[in-house]
């Protein structure tokens, strides 16, 4: 997976999302080093099933037009190299730079921010023209962008059905994309333990607390039985992924714990693509 686009458009968020899904990632890689990078990774993985995500943009100051030739060569060797191009409106990019107070990568040319953005659009046009997907992030927040990367590209790029286990807070609404929704508010709440309150469902203390509750074990067992029975029936469906969502009051303890627990169970059952997304945490 090649991640490119405009500075401030969300490329770093996308790469971090791929990394969280066990892609081997490298950012700011010069185009001329891409062949050697891929060869070195495949040499250490002769089965060729390692997933890579590489960030390429104007920071490397390399000839971006070389990428098309490399992708053609890679395809001849059976390597699928998809190019995702992230962009946003000038107004959105200027606001993001104002909020973060970071310098634009082309500021060394003595350009004001609007001119630097315009120049970057010109320099990255060869990449945009050959992109497999163009993602406009102008109206997306970080959580929405992460979810889109997970569902449309990280999981949606496979022919086999993939599973996404999501946690959320009911006070912010149920995810519209969820196929299964389970209410974890019926479980004991670690929030009322002062030592566990600042933690999340991914932390050992919260996991141990909930693991030792009989109601949690029964709740989990019943959901496992339901999903193990019916999820396999969806393998012949046309969708590329199924979302199983768990909600609690704040989206911090119980829902996160359940999403992680059921995702781990799905992996042990042999599902090839399993991911988690914690809406209030990621």
Binding-site residues sit at 5-12, 57-60
For 164, the token pair is 């996404």
Distance CA 74, CA 66 (A): 13
Residue with tokens 């969300």: 10
Q: Binding-site residues for GTP, please? A: 57-60
Block residue for tokens 């600042």: 198
Query: Tokens representing 210?
Result: 């909930």
- Binding-site residues for ATP, in ranges, read 5-12
Q: Which of 117, 188, 157 is nearest to 275 (CA)?
A: 157
Write down the H helix ranges in 103-203.
113-123, 125-129, 142-148
Contact 107, 243 (CB under 8 A): no
Strands 2-5 and 83-87, bridge-based pairing: parallel
């Amino acid at each position: 997976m090649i991640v490119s686009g405009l500075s401030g458009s969300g490329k770093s968020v996308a790469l971090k999302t791929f990394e969280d899904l066990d892609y081997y990632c490298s950012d700011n890689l010069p185009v001329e080093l891409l062949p050697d990078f891929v060869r070195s990774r495949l040499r250490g993985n002769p089965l060729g099933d390692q997933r890579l995500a590489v960030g390429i943009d104007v920071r490397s100051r390399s000839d971006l037009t070389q990428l098309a030739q490399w992708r053609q060569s890679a395809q001849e060797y059976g390597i699928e190299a998809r190019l995702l191009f992230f962009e946003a409106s000038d107004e959105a990019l200027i606001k993001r730079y104002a909020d973060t107070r970071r310098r634009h990568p082309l500021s060394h040319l003595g350009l004001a921010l609007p001119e630097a953005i315009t120049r970057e659009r010109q320099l990255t046009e060869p990449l945009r023209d050959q992109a497999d997907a163009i993602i406009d992030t102008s109206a997306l927040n970080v959580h929405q962008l992460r979810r889109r990367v997970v569902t449309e590209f990280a999981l949606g790029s496979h022919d086999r059905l993939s599973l996404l286990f999501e946690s959320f807070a009911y006070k912010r609404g149920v995810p519209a994309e969820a196929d299964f929704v389970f209410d974890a508010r019926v479980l004991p709440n670690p929030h009322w333990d002062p030592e566990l309150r600042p933690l999340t469902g991914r932390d050992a203390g919260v996991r141990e607390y909930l693991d030792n509750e009989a109601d949690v074990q029964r709740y989990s067992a019943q959901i496992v039985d339901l999903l193990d029975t019916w999820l396999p029936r969806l393998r012949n469906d046309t969708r590329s992924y199924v979302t199983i969502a768990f909600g609690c009051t704040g989206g911090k303890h119980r829902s996160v714990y359940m999403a992680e627990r059921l995702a781990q169970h799905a992996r042990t059952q042999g599902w090839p693509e399993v991911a988690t997304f914690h809406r209030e945490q990621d």
